[in-house]
């Protein structure tokens, strides 16, 4: 289907005798934001590594932008990755560079070698970088060294950098777990706006259920490496809320060191 940007079918992954992912099926459509919920150890990190082609899968298929990523040549895989923006908790920003310079870094893969060597960005790339900073509300900080910005501001710079790739998919792995609730909400709303305004498919893993229900179009729950929930977002649907609670109740039963359930589900 043309409106499906990312599709997983019967994906399985094991390490030795340990099954980490089993029968994973869901999709992310262009212009939508899907929240992936699950406790630590549920398999989310492994799933994200498989999505990006960093880990091979044992069964099933992962199709990104119409191409099965685990069947591609290295060169073609790089090309597909070039259409996927990544936003992670560890931002990988160059702190001594300005916000603008960090965003421009997303354009390096598209530049001739001589421009890369000289860091000579075209006017079009600079205009694009300014537009991306403006979209995330950081235009006024374009020339500010990133190390002087707050955590939330740096996360917005990371989103602007992802947008500067002109991606068709954005994958965000726990992008707001270190932020306060107000800043986290603002950052997630920025990602949601990218999905809606730019027709980008966004897959975002989260622990904050309340925020996931605010911004997502669909909720996918992962528990013990299997899909336990895959539903269109219906905040008032008691059946869906019970399934979400079961994800975190499972966590509470298996670890007395985990945070209280109320931190995740009201």
Q: Are residues 153 and 177 in the same domain?
A: no
Q: Are residues 254 and 243 in the same domain?
A: yes
Q: Is the pLDDT of residue 264 over 70?
A: no
Percent of the chain with pLDDT strictly greater than 90: 50
Q: Are residues 23 and 48 in the same domain?
A: yes
Position 176 confidence tier, pLDDT thresholds 50, 70, 90: confident
Q: In this predicted model, what pLDDT tens digit does every residue of 113-160 receive, in sequence order?
A: 555 455 677 889 999 999 999 988 899 999 999 999 998 899 889 999
Average pLDDT of the chain?
85
**What does the pLDDT read at residue 148?**
95
Q: Are residues 110 and 198 in the same domain?
A: no
**What does the pLDDT read at residue 141?**
95
Print the domain residue range for 112. 92-166
Of 166, 187, 209, the position where a domain reaches its end is 166
Q: Are residues 215 and 177 in the same domain?
A: yes
Q: Are residues 266 and 181 in the same domain?
A: yes
Of 122, 146, 166, the position where a domain reaches its end is 166
Position 57 confidence tier, pLDDT thresholds 50, 70, 90: very high
**What does the pLDDT read at residue 250?**
52
* DSSP output for the chain: -TTEEEEEEEEEEEETTEEEEEEEEEEEETT-EEEEE--TTSSHHHHHHHHTTSS--SEEEEEETTEEGGGS-HHHHHHHHTTEEEEESS----TTSBHHHHHHGGGGGGS-HHHHHHT---HHHHHHHHHHHHHTT-GGGTTSBGGGS-HHHHHHHHHHHHHTT--SEEEEESTTTTS-HHHHHHHHHHHHHHHHHH--EEEEEES-HHHHHHH-SEEEEEETTEEEEEEE--TT-HHHHHHHHHHHHHHHHH-TTSPPGGGT--
How many structural domains is the chain composed of? 2
**What does the pLDDT read at residue 132?**
93
Q: Are residues 110 and 52 in the same domain?
A: no
Q: In this predicted model, what pLDDT tens digit does every residue of 179-228 receive, in sequence order?
A: 888 888 988 998 999 899 999 999 999 888 888 999 999 999 999 899 99
- Return the higher-pLDDT residue of 182 and 264: 182
Position 112 confidence tier, pLDDT thresholds 50, 70, 90: low
**What does the pLDDT read at residue 255?**
39
The CATH number of residue 72's host domain is 3.40.50.300
**What does the pLDDT read at residue 41?**
82
């Amino acid at each position: 289907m043309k409106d499906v940007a990312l599709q997983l079918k019967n994906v399985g992954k094991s390490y030795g005798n340990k099954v980490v992912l089993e029968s994973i099926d869901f999709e992310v459509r262009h212009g939508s934001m899907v929240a992936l919920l699950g406790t630590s150890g549920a398999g989310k990190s492994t799933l994200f590594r498989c999505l990006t082609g960093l880990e091979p899968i044992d069964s099933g298929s992962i199709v990104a932008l119409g191409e099965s990523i685990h069947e591609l040549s290295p060169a073609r895989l790089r090309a597909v990755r070039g259409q996927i923006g990544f936003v992670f908790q560890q931002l990988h920003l160059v702190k001594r560079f300005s916000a603008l310079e960090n965003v421009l870094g997303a354009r390096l893969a598209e530049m001739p070698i001589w421009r890369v060597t000289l860091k000579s960005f075209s006017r079009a790339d600079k205009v694009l970088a300014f537009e991306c900073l403006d979209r995330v509300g950081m235009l006024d900080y374009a020339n500010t060294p990133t190390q002087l910005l707050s955590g939330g501001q740096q996360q917005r710079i990371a989103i602007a950098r992802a947008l500067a790739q002109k991606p068709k998919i954005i994958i965000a792995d726990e992008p707001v777990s270190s932020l306060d609730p107000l800043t986290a909400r603002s950052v997630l709303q920025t990602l949601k706006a990218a999905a809606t305004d730019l027709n980008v498919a966004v897959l975002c893993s989260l622990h904050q259920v309340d925020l996931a229900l605010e911004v997502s179009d669909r909720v996918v729950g992962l528990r013990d490496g299997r899909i336990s929930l895959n539903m269109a977002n219906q905040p008032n649907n008691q059946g869906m809320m019970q399934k979400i609670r079961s994800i975190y109740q499972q966590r509470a039963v298996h670890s007395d060191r985990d945070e209280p359930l109320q931190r995740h589900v009201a």
